[in-house]
Amino acid sequence: MTRTWLKAQVAALAAVAAALPISAHHSWTASYLEDQTVTVEGEIVELAYQNPHAWVRVSARDNSGRLQTIGAEWANPSRLSQQGITRETLKPGDRVILTGSPDRDPAAYRMHLKRIERPADGWKWIGGNQPR
């Protein structure tokens, strides 16, 4: 009887735990070289306005001159929305300059976005600050 009761309690606890949202967050330094900075200029391919972080993907030339798609991990869409940035702020074809920390694996073509500028109209986003 006690063993059956214990199994039932463990099963119930597991069911509740599986239903809870995951709210863990990773350290940026686990994926990116936060003490280094890279700058990439290219055209927006996609703005993935999704949780847990938005992504900006640009088409740009790598160090050898080959065209690559480079992903920039941005902030959470909720935070971006509070700063006036929506799904419509950046569109495919927009020419932008991205600045951020490179991925630990150079072949990944990713960065942690710290700054984005659109020279055509002077729009920019700098860190956690409001767009300018």
Alpha helices in 74-130 (DSSP H): 77-82
Quote the pLDDT of residue 99. 97
Quote the pLDDT of residue 63. 83
Quote the pLDDT of residue 92. 97
83: left (phi over 0), alpha (psi -120 to 50) or beta: alpha
Q: CA 68 → CA 32, 44, 45, 47, distances in Å?
A: 19, 12, 11, 16
Quote the pLDDT of residue 1. 53
pTM for the model = 0.75
Q: Helix or strand or coil: residue 6?
A: helix
Q: Are 101 and 108 in contact (CB under 8 A)?
A: no
Q: Are 58 and 15 in contact (CB under 8 A)?
A: no
Summarised one tens digit per residue, pLDDT across range 5-37 is: 555 554 544 444 444 344 445 577 778 999 999
Single-letter code of the amino acid located at 118: R
- CA gap 16, 114 in Å, rounded: 38
Residues linked to residue 32 through DSSP beta bridges, in sequence order: 103
Question: Which domains are assigned to the chain?
Answer: 32-126 (2.40.50.1010)
Residues linked to residue 44 through DSSP beta bridges, in sequence order: 58
Residue ranges in the chain modelled with pLDDT below 70: 1-26, 128-132
